[in-house]
Amino acid sequence: MTDQASTPESDIPGKPTSASRTTLSHIMGHNDTNLLGTVHGGVIMKLVDDAAGAVAGRHSGGPAVTASMDEMAFLEPVRVGDLVHVKAQVNWTGRTSMEVGVRVLAERWNESTPAQQVGTAYLVFAAVDADGKPRRVPPVLPETERDERRCQEAQIRRTHRLARRRAIMELREKRAAEGLDE
């Protein structure tokens, strides 16, 4: 596990994972449903973005905007009357961006059964200043083996995101050079 207060490329002191970890809880009502009578995926995605945004703002010490969301997985349906818990934490930080991992759990509001995981997501946030320009973020300091694993997995996802972006840009440039895209 990392025990440095800052990294060589950053003079900003690091923050432990627990410093910004948060849980957002919400009871699902009839206004949250889709045509099938279960909670609309967009409602869950909004809660995910809200919780992740709070974590990103806490970790970075100011405003942070959603740059991307990937791997949003809906594992089980959520129903009216479910108490949904959205748990979020910073998994990885770059110079001005950070990945926030989110787990979504649901339990019946009137039962004492354990909450069940119903979704997961990974979001990338960019810290911005008052003018909307990128600003530096503190390094995240994993505190547990699980935090360390999440950090390593986040680095793999970042590598894949960058490779995908590069491949798409190369394809677009090639098609433009061939006069195939307008």
Residues 60-107 pLDDT 10s: 999 999 999 988 999 999 999 999 999 999 999 999 999 999 999 999
For residues 16 and 10, give the distance between their C-alpha atoms in angstroms, rounded to a whole number.
15
How much is the pLDDT for 181?
Answer: 72
| Average pLDDT of the chain to the nearest whole number | 92
The helix/strand/coil state of 71 is strand
How much is the pLDDT for 180?
Answer: 84
Tokens of 91: 């998994």
Q: Are 101 and 93 in contact (CB under 8 A)?
A: no
How much is the pLDDT for 182?
Answer: 64
Q: Where are the beta strands (DSSP E) in 78-159?
A: 82-93, 97-108, 116-127, 140-141
- Give the up-direction half-sphere exposure of residue 148: CA atoms within 13 A in the CB hemisphere: 6
Tokens of 151: 């950090």
Task: Please name the residues in contact with 158: beta carbons below 8 A apart, sequence gap of 6 or more.
Answer: 92, 94, 99
Dihedral in degrees, nearest 10, Cα atoms 71, 76, 80, 84: -60
- Give the up-direction half-sphere exposure of residue 117: CA atoms within 13 A in the CB hemisphere: 8
For residues 93 and 60, give the distance between their C-alpha atoms in angstroms, rounded to a whole number.
10
Q: What is the average pLDDT across 132-154?
A: 97
How much is the pLDDT for 11?
Answer: 82
**9 has pLDDT over 60:** no
- Give the up-direction half-sphere exposure of residue 84: CA atoms within 13 A in the CB hemisphere: 30
10 or 91, which is more confident: 91
